Amino acid sequence: MEQKTEVKQLITKEMTIGDVVAKYPSCIETLQSAGVHCVGCHVSYSETLEQGFKGHGMSDEDVDMVITQMNKAVEEGKLDEGKDLIITNKAAEKLKAVLKENNKEGSGLRVEIIPGGCSGFQYGLELDDNTTDLDLTFEEKGVKIIVSKENMQFLKGAKLDYVDSLQGGGFKISNPNAHSSCGCGQSFEY
């Protein structure tokens, strides 16, 4: 007799997009891959997943398939719990492409916290070949991320993602240590 492992349904189609994203950020990548980029839009807290998906032209079967994928993403996201720095598949693939475009395949992405912005701090990202004893290096999914030991305390548990939106694409850091951020989304406060 064949045993089937079933993923626990934490996310249902009756939940709002905003509530799901707030509670289970590990499913954002799945939503965006399905063509639903309204994770931060004003409608996300009033529209259910099913309404949002159908508004994007999905059939009932498509809705069920994406809900299943989102639940799998949440389960897989539990594997990232306790990590110093989480790198999404999308961020790793984009970083590999950027390194290749710039002929810097052996380099890493340095993540810094610098004073500035309207909330006090902002992230700095740059391609870097050099590390010192004051740096920590994380190699995961075929990419290297460099963070100074001093900044790591502020980035523990943060997630590096790559997001495509109507306003353009870019690397995004979701940081559980930031107390608040400004409306521009570029600066934050600890």
Per residue in 77-123, pLDDT (tens digit) is: 665 665 678 888 889 999 999 999 999 988 999 999 888 766 678 88
| Residue-range domain boundaries for the chain | 17-80, 85-189
Tokens 């740096």 appear where? 135
Mean pLDDT on 141-154: 90
CATH topology of domain 85-189: Hypothetical Protein Aq_1857; Chain: A; (2.60.300)
Residue 82: left (phi > 0), alpha (psi -120 to 50), or beta? left
Q: How confident is the model at residue 187 (pLDDT cuts 50, 70, 90)?
A: low
Per residue in 162-178, pLDDT (tens digit) is: 877 666 678 888 777 77
Q: Bridge-partner residues for 147, per DSSP?
A: 111, 136
Per the confidence metrics, is the pTM higher than 0.75? Answer: no
pLDDT at 23: 76
Q: 23 CB contacts (<8 Å, ≥6 apart)?
A: none
Q: Is the pLDDT of residue 31 over 60?
A: yes
Round the average pLDDT of the chain to a whole number and report it.
80
Q: Which has the closest alpha carbon to 147: 162, 172, 126?
A: 126
